[in-house]
Structure formats: C-alpha cells, structure tokens
Structure 1
Amino acid sequence: MTTPHGTTELHELVLPAQANHHGTLFAGQGLQLLAKVAFLAARSLAQREVVMASVSGVDFLAPVPVGHALTLRAWVSRVGRTSMTVCVTGLAELPGLPAEEVLKGMFEMVAVDSASRPIAIHCSYLNQET
C-alpha cells in the first residue's frame, strides 16, 4: 500500500491540562489537534503557506482519557487550483492495547501568497480539479 501524497502524522499525549471535567480530551483541544495536522499536511503538499477555509464532518467517536497517546493522521484527498481537501483521523491507545479511532474530520485548506491571497498549487503527481 502506498502512502498518499501530503500525508502527515502527529503524536500527542493527552495531559490533564487538555481534559474536561470528565478526565477526557476536551473537544476544543481535539479540534485544535485535528486542525494542526491538517495544516501540516496541506502545507507540506502545497510547498507554500496555507490557511483553513472550512471544517466539515468532524466526529468525536469516543472519549479519550488522560494518559492515552493520540496518533493523528492527515492526508490530502483532493487538490484543486488553489484549495485542498484534507482528511484527518485520530487513533488513541494505551501501551499493550489496540488503537481505537476516536476523532475524524475534513478540512478545506487554501494556498496563499505573502499577501494572504489564494495562489495556485502545482502538484504534478495528483489529478488537479478546477
């Protein structure tokens, strides 16, 4: 199996400062982590600065207790003229136990120039859309 272009992986440990009053990952912190890895994947593929245009379909599938390790994987699933769709999944695990999918989301990212205006993405290895 080949790794899609624009794939990025980020590893985090859920600490008490990131938790809610239930001792699990606060949803806002989870969303921030998803957005961070989506940004890294998009910037890596575009080889230029990017900004987030929208977020859709974010799902919190299971609670993530303090002390669990999170592996966040992002990959670019679509490249348009100036924008990209980035898919993200989050897997939580404790040592010795199988990983469980706990987070997922889709992010639209836009490549921008130094004046923060959209700029074309040049990726010869992907089918480009208009």
Structure 2
Amino acid sequence: MEAKAVSASRAEFTHLVLPPDTNALGTIFGGRIMEWVDIAAAIVSQRHCRTTAVTASIDELHFIHPVRLGDIVILKVSVNYVHKSSMEIGVSVEAEDPRSGLRRQTSSAFLTFVALDEAGKPTPVPPLILETQEDQKRFEAGRIRMERRKQQRLKRQKKG
C-alpha cells in the first residue's frame, strides 16, 4: 500500500452561520458545529483511505469562543495519525467576522475513523508521509491519544 502525504487529504471548509443554525442567544448550536466537524473529518478520512470510513469516536471537542449569527465558520481538517485500519483526524474551527475580517479559533476536535471494505469489515489504511515538523508533532500527539483511548477501552471491557 502506497503512503500518502498529509497534504494530499488536508482540506478547508467554509460555512455562513444563518438563523436556523443559532439558538435564542444568536449563537450557533454546538450540535451544528459537531455536525460540520464530523462531515468534514469524514471527507478527509475518505480522501486518505479512498474507501468508506466511519466515525468511531469524537473526543476532546472543545468550544472555546461563541460563534455568532452572520459569522463565517472555517474548518481546517487534516489526518494527524494512522494506525492499522484507523485514522485520527484533527479539526480546528475558526469564526471570522465578515465586517472586520477578524478570525478567532472557536473549537477544536479529534475524531477517530475506521476504514471499511466492501463487506463492512475494517481494512488497512495507507501510511502517512509527514511533510513538516507540525505534521510530526501532530502525528506523535495522535499516537499518544490513540494509546490513551486503547487503555480506556481496556478499562471499560474489564468493568463490563
């Protein structure tokens, strides 16, 4: 299986926050951000593995600043880490005030996707070519998070 560069699947998505996206305070519903994050991460994961990939977990989803009606939301998405059949996708969410152009980070998340074959069984994903020091840092941090998730899963299995 041929390795793929991080840049081969990296993507940026843009949304305008409209009234149906907001709550009574005029800020975006957290669930709308979660939806956009999951869809964007799914696209990037499938670009990397070129097969169906499904969400296995969403962890460390942080809401840092509110997003307001009329803001432009930018999601920056990339593959951080790959294992046998799984990938960690990192998503950084920014909001831009269209009047001033000021951008601020509003959310971030890490999602794990599993690649599936035609029978719906886990299938190997391509190795990742790390192109920059930032890619290397994200890869190592992703490896550590994967180990932590594995330990948590083992704890749950012992309890259950």
**When the two structures are superposed, what TM-score results if normalisation uses the length of structure 2?**
0.74
Equivalent residue for 1:109, pick from 104, 107, 113: 113
Task: Report SS of the residue matched to 1:105.
Answer: strand
Q: Which runs of 4+ in 1 moved over 4 A?
A: 126-129
| Higher helix proportion (structure 1 or 2) | 2
- Displacement of 1:92: 0.4
- Displacement of 1:121: 1.0
Letter in 2 for 1:56: D
In the alignment, what sits opposite 2:15? 12
Q: Tell me whether 1:125 sits opposite 2:93 in the alignment.
A: no
In the alignment, what sits opposite 1:70? 73
- Displacement of 1:23: 0.8
Q: Give the total of aligned pairs.
A: 128
Letter in 1 for 2:63: F
Task: Give the whole-Å Cα distance in 2 for the aligned partners of 1:3 and 1:111.
Answer: 17
| Higher strand proportion (structure 1 or 2) | 1
Task: Report SS of the residue matched to 2:129.
Answer: coil
In the alignment, what sits opposite 1:22? 25
In the alignment, what sits opposite 1:99? 103
Which of these two proteins has the greater Rg computed from alpha carbons? 2
The alpha-carbon distance between structure 1 residues 25 and 116, as it changes in their structure 2 partners (threshold 3 A), is same
In the alignment, what sits opposite 1:53? 56
Unpaired runs of 5+ in structure 1? none
Unpaired runs of 5+ in structure 2? 131-135, 144-160
**When the two structures are superposed, what TM-score results if normalisation uses the length of structure 1?**
0.90
Task: Report SS of the residue matched to 1:42.
Answer: helix
